[in-house]
Structure 1
């Protein structure tokens, strides 16, 4: 058994479940909790009782069925994503506990300086997307969060699992009547979650773009899905302008620069596959597992 003790916040969530299973397979001591992050006394009590060496924060609201929910529930979004996240980080700092915050890279959008296929967004770039209240709160929290000397911030984008879980990006776009055809950075959980454990156990801190290298379009994803998982699957496209007419909030489209992450992982002899390669392997695993 490892000397490290992991406590996962947001214990009933999708990513949290994958992390717990991964840590258990690695023989690590792990527990999950659903304590509300904004309840300071309860948070401190849990940290004192369990005495984790590492907290993995997967909690927060993204909205159901999607981030449009946050537009009509701003107070609840603030309470969880702002007050709660910062309270948990602060409590961990007081207790000398390393915290990994699973954040979002949906704080950027292609612009004149960062066009599609051109210059990508690094960890140092100022957020330029506030088209959704969800993204607006996330970028503000990150600015404060990175001041904590015990905090690792991992920016996920459009996470994908090896099944058709309702929260997986592939599941979502496979059910859309129409999709936009724009290249984006994606986070394939099978590749990336083990990396988060490596970084946490080595007490790395700061902000990392936490996606597979490269960018892949919605069409490319669905073409691979049809090739390996669901032969005969079809889809159609519409423009961003047409999409905006059916959404309450805007959507981020961007490619994140993974140079910092790739270079850091070289120190631990860890490699992550380019996003097109990662998707092919993901869909092959799906097909082998009987997913249709």
Structure 2
């Protein structure tokens, strides 16, 4: 446990990553909860700027959702390696360090895209990577740096690292949404993966911060779901005329720069904290497909407009 900064018993949150997707969503949640929070303006790699932010806000909890993932995708990191290092490694470690010096708990929204199926963890076996397992996927520079960051930040006793995977929200036109991406593709691979349904899981991350949990947490819904299963749900709930086709990993490799991670993460720890957590398929139906089915015509029109751009 880490002693928190400040004298008030009310949590005070400081969010890094105000212009990012998850940072914005976390801010929205805290606002809805009536929580005491602010967004930071300093860049993570600016140690003096980060210290000034902490002195200004005097947070009890820091939420780090900052970093680069690349536009339009992680292939960007292959040609922007120094920017990736500064933000995703040096910046993250700097923030953890200055928080430790001041006794502040930090939650880091990391990634679970640092593992891939292999002979020890074969696809379809139901055997998932645990929090204690060492990353085995460095096929993309993004994942390579993220794996390095995780290996270093695990030494900080004040940090909770959340392994996010293929994040999903209800807005089927939002470009970062995993479902939005695959309904736009001409072809998709069909591999089961662990995924993170943000409407269900992000509120839990705030509760984890309040509980001052530390170490690594596989931050996904229990189980895995394939691309085809998700697209079938989209067809069943939203667009009966929707069609798609598949290609192999080898065929996919010809249209992307860096390989992608595919894996199943073990969720025993997060289920121990939150036994009510829904399995991935049930969570997708509750938080994504049923809400969109309730306004199907509106959703379908928005998706078709997006796909036509």
Q: Normalised by the shorter chain, which TM-score bucket?
A: over 0.9
Q: TM-score, normalised by structure 2?
A: 0.91
Which residue matches 2:289?
283
Q: Are positions 1:228 and 2:237 aligned together? A: yes
Displacement of 1:230 after TM fit? 2.6
Which residue matches 1:184?
193
Cα pair 2:44 2:95 within 8 Å, conserved: yes
- Number of paired residues? 288
Displacement of 1:70 after TM fit? 0.4
Displacement of 1:2 after TM fit? 7.6
Q: Are positions 1:42 and 2:49 aligned together? A: yes
Structure 2 distance, partners of 1:214, 1:249, is: 26
Which residue matches 2:11?
4
Q: How does 1:173-252 map to 2 (within 5 A)?
A: 173-252=182-261
Q: TM-score, normalised by structure 1?
A: 0.96
Which residue matches 1:140?
148
Structure 2 distance, partners of 1:212, 1:20, is: 22
Q: Which moved more, 1:169-178 or 1:278-287?
A: 278-287
Structure 1 distance, partners of 2:97, 2:242, is: 48
Q: Deviations over 1:85-142 (max 9, x none)?
A: 1001111111111100000000000001111121211111111100000001111110
Q: Secondary structure at the match of 1:183?
A: coil
Structure 1 distance, partners of 2:206, 2:9, is: 12
Residues 2 and 181 (structure 1), Cα distance of their counterparts in 2 relative to 1, 3 Å cut: farther
Q: How does 1:53-72 map to 2 (within 5 A)?
A: 53-72=60-79
CA-atom RMSD in angstroms: 1.3
Structure 2 distance, partners of 1:33, 1:168, is: 24
Structure 2 gap segments, 5+ residues each: 1-7, 301-309
Structure 1 segments (4+ residues) deviating >3 Å:
none
Which residue matches 2:83?
76
Which residue matches 2:177?
168
Which residue matches 1:152?
160
Cα pair 1:68 1:248 within 8 Å, conserved: yes
Q: Deviations over 1:171-214 (max 9, x none)?
A: 11111111000000000001100110111001010001000000
Cα pair 2:115 2:135 within 8 Å, conserved: yes
Cα pair 2:17 2:64 within 8 Å, conserved: yes
Cα pair 1:229 1:284 within 8 Å, conserved: no
Structure 1 gap segments, 5+ residues each: none
Structure 1 distance, partners of 2:175, 2:109, is: 19
